[in-house]
Amino acid sequence: MRGLMQDWPMLTHRIIDHAARVHGDREIVTRSVEGPIVRTNYRNLRARALRVAQRLDREGIKLGDRVATIAWNTARHMECWYGIMGIGAVCHTVNPRLFPEQIGWIINHAQDRIVITDLTFVPLLEKIADNLPSVERYIVLTDKAHMPQTTLKNAVAYEDWIAEVDGNFKWKEFDENTAAAMCYTSGTTGDPKGVLYSHRSNVLHSLIANNGDALGATSKDTMLPVVPLFHANSWGIVFSAPAMGTKLVMPGPKLDGESVYELLSTEKVTYTAGVPTVWLMLLQHMEKNKLTLPDLKVVICGGSAMPRSMIKAFVDMGIEVRHAWGMTEMSPLGTVGALQAPYAHLTGEDKLDVLQMQGYPPFMVEMKITDDAGKELPWDGKTFGRLKVKGPAISGAYYRVDTKILDEDGYFDTGDVATMNEHGYMRITDRSKDVIKSGGEWISSIDLENLAVGHPKVAEAAVIGVYHPKWDERPLLIVQLKEGESATREDILSYMDGKIAKWWMPDDVAFVKAIPHTATGKILKTSLRDQFKDYKLPSAAA
Amino acid sequence: MRGLMQDWPMLTHRIIDHAARVHGDREIVTRSVEGPIVRTNYRNLRARALRVAQRLDREGIKLGDRVATIAWNTARHMECWYGIMGIGAVCHTVNPRLFPEQIGWIINHAQDRIVITDLTFVPLLEKIADNLPSVERYIVLTDKAHMPQTTLKNAVAYEDWIAEVDGNFKWKEFDENTAAAMCYTSGTTGDPKGVLYSHRSNVLHSLIANNGDALGATSKDTMLPVVPLFHANSWGIVFSAPAMGTKLVMPGPKLDGESVYELLSTEKVTYTAGVPTVWLMLLQHMEKNKLTLPDLKVVICGGSAMPRSMIKAFVDMGIEVRHAWGMTEMSPLGTVGALQAPYAHLTGEDKLDVLQMQGYPPFMVEMKITDDAGKELPWDGKTFGRLKVKGPAISGAYYRVDTKILDEDGYFDTGDVATMNEHGYMRITDRSKDVIKSGGEWISSIDLENLAVGHPKVAEAAVIGVYHPKWDERPLLIVQLKEGESATREDILSYMDGKIAKWWMPDDVAFVKAIPHTATGKILKTSLRDQFKDYKLPSAAA
Q: What single-letter amino acid sits at A441?
A: E
Check pLDDT > 90 for residue A68: yes
Active-site choice (B268, B312, B437, B457): B437
Q: Is B392 on the interface with A (CB under 8 A)?
A: yes
Interface contacts A/B by beta carbons within 8 Å: 234
Contact B22 A423 (CB under 8 A): yes
Please give the pLDDT value at position A404: 94
Query: Are the C-beta atoms of B214 and B245 separated by less than 8 Å?
Result: no
Whole-number pLDDT of residue B520? 63
B282 reaches A (C-beta below 8 A): no
d(CA A247, nearest CA chain B) in Å: 9
A228-283 pLDDT, tens digit each: 999 999 999 999 999 999 999 999 999 999 999 999 999 999 999 999 989 999 99
Give chain A positions within 8 Å (CB) of B175.
2
A56 pLDDT exceeds 80? yes
d(CA A284, CA A262): 14
Looking at the complex, report in whole angstroms how far the Cα of residue B398 sits from the nearest Cα belonging to chain A: 7
Three-class secondary structure assignment of B38-84: EEEEHHHHHHHHHHHHHHHHHCCCCCCCEEEEECCECHHHHHHHHHH
The pLDDT of residue B539 is 83
pLDDT, tens digit (0-9, with 9 covering 90-100), for A21-46: 999 999 999 999 999 999 999 999 99
Residues of A in contact with B346 (CB under 8 A): none
pLDDT given for residue B440 in this prediction? 82
Contacts 24+ apart (CB under 8 A), B463-467: B463/B436, B463/B506, B464/B434, B464/B436, B464/B525, B464/B528, B464/B529, B464/B532, B465/B435, B465/B436, B465/B437, B465/B438, B466/B507, B466/B508, B466/B532, B466/B535, B466/B537, B467/B537, B467/B540
Between CA A151 and CA A200 the distance in angstroms is 38
Contact criterion met (CB < 8 Å) for B197 and A26: no
Which parts of chain B sit beneath pLDDT 50?
Answer: none
Q: Is B419 in the active site?
A: no
Interchain contact B396–A (C-beta under 8 A): yes
Q: For residue B250, count other CB atoms closer than 10 A to its CB.
A: 25
* 8 Å CB contact of A5 and B396: yes
CB-nearest to A361 from B22, B204, B410 is: B22
Our CA-based measurement puts residue B113 at a distance from the nearest CA of chain A, in whole angstroms, of 15
| Cβ within 8 Å of residue A77, ≥6 positions away | A69, A71, A116, A118, A141, A229, A250
CB contact under 8 A, B8 and A363: no
Residues of B in Cβ contact (< 8 Å) with A90: 1
Q: Kindly report the three-state secondary structure assignment for every residue of B302-333.
A: CCCCCCHHHHHHHHHCCCEEEEEEECHHHCCE
CA–CA gap between residue A43 and residue A50 (Å, rounded): 11
C-alpha distance from A235 to closest chain B C-alpha (Å): 16
Q: What is the pLDDT of residue B459?
A: 92
User: What pLDDT, on the 0 to 100 scale, is given for residue B458?
Assistant: 93
**Do A4 and B399 count as a contact with CB atoms less than 8 A apart?**
yes
Which residue segments constitute the domains of chain B, with CATH numbers given?
Answer: 13-24+39-196 (3.40.50.12780), 364-431 (2.30.38.10), 436-541 (3.30.300.30)
| Interface touch B340/A200, C-beta < 8 Å | no
Alpha helices in A227-299 (DSSP H): 237-244, 257-266, 276-288
Pairing of strands B156-157, A298-301: unpaired
Contact residues on chain A for B414, CB-CB shorter than 8 A? none
**Helix %, strand %, coil % for chain B, to 5?**
30, 25, 40
Catalytic residue check, B117: no
pLDDT band at A304 (very low <50, low <70, confident <90, very high): confident
Strands A137-140 and A114-117, sheet pairing:
parallel
List all residues of chain A from 215 to 254 with a beta carbon under 8 Å from chain B: 216-220, 243-245, 247
Instruction: Give me the pLDDT at residue B21, please.
Output: 97
Q: What is the pLDDT of residue B188?
A: 59
Overall pTM surpassing 0.80 (yes/no): yes
Question: For position B338, what pLDDT does the model report?
Answer: 86
The predicted pLDDT at position A190 comes to 75
Q: What is the pLDDT of residue A522?
A: 78
Return the pLDDT at B540.
79
Residue B267: CB atoms within 10 Å: 18
Amino acid letter for position A173? E
Q: Among residues 41-80 of chain B, which lie with CB inside 8 Å of chain A?
A: 63-64
**Contacts of residue A363 in chain B, CB cutoff 8 Å?**
14-15, 18, 206-207, 243-244
Q: What is the pLDDT of residue A514?
A: 93
How far apart, in whole angstroms, are the C-alpha atoms of residue B497 and residue B198? 51
Average pLDDT over residues A428-445: 89
Query: Would you tell me which residues 461-520 of chain B have a C-beta closer than 8 angstroms to some C-beta of chain A?
Result: none
A15 contacts in B (CB within 8 Å)? 363
- How far is it, in rounded angstroms, from Cα B130 to Cα B145? 26
pLDDT at B306 (0 to 100) = 87
Q: How far is CA B19 from the centre of its chain?
A: 25
The pLDDT score that the predictor gives to residue A111 is: 98
Test B341 with A26 for CB contact under 8 angstroms. yes
* Rama region for B424: left / alpha / beta (φ>0; ψ in -120 to 50; rest): left
Is residue B488 annotated as part of the catalytic site, yes or no?
A: no
Greatest alpha-carbon span in chain B: 80
Q: Which residues of A touch B197 (CB under 8 A)?
A: 3, 5
Asked if B437 is an active-site residue, the reply is yes
- Whether chain A has a CB inside 8 Å of the CB on B423: the answer is yes
Question: What is the dihedral sign for C-alpha A305, A308, A311, A314?
Answer: negative
Mutate to test the interface with A, among B10, B11, B15, B22 (most CBs of A within 10 A): B22
pLDDT over 90 (residue A63): yes
